[in-house]
Amino acid sequence: MDAKVAHKGLTIAGKSFGSRLMIGTSRYPNQQVMMDAIEASGAEIVTVAVRRVSLESGGEGLFDMLGDRFHLLPNTAGCYTARDAVLTAELAREALGTDWVKLEVIGDDETLFPDVEQLLRGAEELVKKGFIVLPYCNDDPITCRKLEDMGCAAVMPLAAPIGSGMGIRNPYNLRIIREQVSVPVIVDAGVGTASDAAVAMELGMDGILLNTAVAGARDPVGMARAMRLGIEAGRLAFESGRIPRKLYATASTPIEGAIEL
């Protein structure tokens, strides 16, 4: 990666990371493929579902495997109420010694959309308890502003339903969110391939969290590398500034001063 771009990493709650990609740990064929994909992605933040891992044999081994090499971001996946999410976050803090939490409070099993009322309630309580809260939310500017106002360290709007791979469905809302909040905006859910990641970054997003797009790919390691490059390219394009869109052509070679025939 270009040295000029490399230092422009992601900063959340005063902690800086060289990579703008966060990656999950579920649905991989096996742990070796998971580790190889995480390495290929260049991600420094790795998210783990506390409730699900704790129920699996070898769950503690996964935390041990990742903890020394990556910044662990426990998440509250599988929680449907603010109460359950808060209890899960407290369990993670006790077990892993981290105040960071990706807050998920799901409304139903079919869409996996957030339950906004429960999400806001859980976020407010966790912030009061001293957590660094990164909430998964709808692509709603109002909700994102409320989450920022109550002290969340970032907002994580979805681009499309979790695991759908549908890409950026509503770029306009994401742009409004980027303009209206000052904390980092991390696209969470819906990214399916590297071009989706590039588009998100070109919109000015600060980072992307993904899982299924890599874990479910035919070659997870190759896709992880593609996502890394897509994010780097999209961010560089955003910082460089694209040309304006025009209805009519503009000659790339000036005609002034050309030899008359």
Contact between 103 and 121 under an 8 Å Cβ cutoff? The reply is: no
C-alpha span between 214 and 210 (Å, rounded)? 8
The DSSP call for residue 155 is: B
Active site (annotated) includes residue 102: yes
C-alpha span between 236 and 200 (Å, rounded)? 12
- Token pair 């299924």: residue: 212
Q: Considering 4, 8, 102, 129, which one is annotated as catalytic? A: 102
C-alpha span between 222 and 227 (Å, rounded)? 9
- Cα 136 to the center of its chain, rounded Å: 9
C-alpha span between 163 and 71 (Å, rounded)? 23
Would you state the torsion angle of the CA atoms of residues 21, 208, 200, 235, taken in this order, to the nearest 10 degrees? -30
User: Computed from CA positions of residues 176, 182, 183, 184, in that sequence, does the dihedral angle turn out positive or negative?
Assistant: positive
- CB hemisphere CA count around 228 (13 angstroms): 19
C-alpha span between 66 and 180 (Å, rounded)? 35
Structure-token pair, residue 95: 């077990």
Q: Which residues are catalytic?
A: 102
